[in-house]
Chain A
Amino acid sequence: MKTVFARLQSWEGFLLCALILIILVNSSLSPQFMTVSNQVNLFQLSIEKIIVALAMTFIIINAEIDLSVGSMMGLSACAFGWMFQQGMPSGAAILICLIIGAMGGALNGWFIAKVGLPSLVVTLATLIGYRGLARVLVEDRGINDFPEWFDALGQKGLLGPIPFANIAFVVLFIILYIVLQRTGFGRKTYVIGTNREMADFAGIDTARHKLILFTGAGLIAAFAGLLYAARVGAVRGDVALGFELDIITIVLLGGVSIFGGTGSLVGTLLAVMIVLNLRNGMALLNITGHIQTGVIGLLLIGSVVAPRLNLGKLLRRQTGPNMTKGKT
């Protein structure tokens, strides 16, 4: 049984302390910070990104990267808009978008797992390709006037003031947490990320595993794209442009090593909370634009550098449940 102090000495413990500090500062500087509507908005404004960050956590622990998620979100949102405009029932359009997401993700996975190309290259190509498709479908004109229930789902509270997307995030987090920390699939994700060759020798079908991960990431990105369309009630070719960088930032800040094998969803969740609270706090103090970006950037530099300094000896990053040590 670990003591409280030992627990706080982990990277997650460090993030938790940082989060508490940020929340304290925010609530003392802004009277609106702790209101229910602001807390809901805080999540709502970035809800699609943080949902995809959950999938990205799996991908990066697996020692891969998926740069195409932002474009896939855009493609899904635009495909929905286009099909809706062509007169297709929205239920069917949603289903097709999710299928597009899974197929797009599977295409990434196929090139990476079966053909053996680096994920950086493959998903950079599909980042451009999926965005291109989105722009071809919708061009520069916006599409809006979606069905009322669709807009309401994205904009109104479902459970009291809490909108559907926030509930989806919580549910998805719980499911994925169980998968990553409590199942064989989760353990394999860590093992392959630590050393793929070793995993191959151990008889793990690593290609199949990666195919599943990328398919899942595509599916979740498409789902998040639909949530975005519902939240803003309109789509355009540039929907979710550049979101992949924010998503990867959050995951890395959460202590997931870019080299794979290390990290946890709890870390990602804490990083999500830190980034969102920091952004919101700055926005309430009217700090926007370049300064806001700069502060978040500094935070990332710190999170990448800190484990390499002496601090790294103090703050252990979590590895897979059945593993002794990460490779760092």
Chain B
Amino acid sequence: MSNLSYIKNLTKLGPEEIQVIVQKIHDLAKDGEYVIMEFCGTHTREISRYGIRSILPKNLELKSGPGCPVCVTADEDIDYLIGIAEKYDLGVITFGDLVNVPGSNGSLNHLRAKGKEVKVVYSPLESIRIALQNPQKNYVMVGIGFETTVPSLAYTIKKIVELGVENLFYLSLHKLTPPAMKALLDAGEIKLDGIIGPGHVSTIVGIKRWQEYLKNYKIPFVIMGFEPEDVLYGIYFLMKKIKNGEYGVFSTYTRSVSSEGNVFAQNLVDEVFDVSDSVWRGLGVIPKSGLELKPKYSHLDARKKFALDEPVKVRKTACRCGEVLRGVLKPYECPLFAKVCTPTNPKGPCMVSSEGTCAAYYLYENS
């Protein structure tokens, strides 16, 4: 099997074909040291879950990036959320992982244990049902997630207005991935030879968006699917680009990613949100990397409606999630990792989220 380019359905690869790909990666990497970063938390998890590091050459390092929405949520945002929930007796509606993220004074889980209402939903539309069933109580829906999650939340916001729901507000903690990728490259803190591009985000934003952001960088960026076969084939493809000195945006996730992306979803988001600056854990303020509600929807904006008496003062901890998110520190290099910080008792968000780098290392590579 000399040419792998005919492979259409990568997930149907058998063990022998996998071995061929792995061997080709070894051949390509045999001279030199290579560092590749996977931006996306789902890639991070699947790479750990399938023990992919264990079959790659030692001189090819996979670094994990900041692609986990819960992980990059800033401490001040968590503290603000818990603060307004307590002060205004708001019910908090959120996606799962966030409830375990420790803030300066405990997590949403602690808030719930203290008797406050904290609801975990899978679909943001559930927030409307919850608010309508309890008209005497005010709720805040926490909008968290990258470009993949935003469209369903934009739809929810339109529905809130359409149905005239008056007791449901919105806290946008959304983050945009291409500006963060660019910020990471600009910081120059780590040397990267190639990047594993996120599959789901790219399905929404399309190849073009990445090309706009990365046009001045001489680095190959390959968008991949999430099955272990996708990842191995993608790494092989990326290594070829690195070796040939080719750069630009490529995709091996052709069954899902197009040049334009999901235009319907993009328009839906543009209708509801404006691009804003945003604070990322570990990366600080990144210009134009967040989303805020358009003026038309600002009456739903929790930040405008609920103020704290004093600005949030974030308590410093020994957690080093910030460095892990920038790829500067490996999870096991953090003094808390697997000692005081575990998925059962997490000290930082990277150990909480199923897409967090520390959780992935702890659960799957901690042998």
- Note whether A and B form a binding pair: no
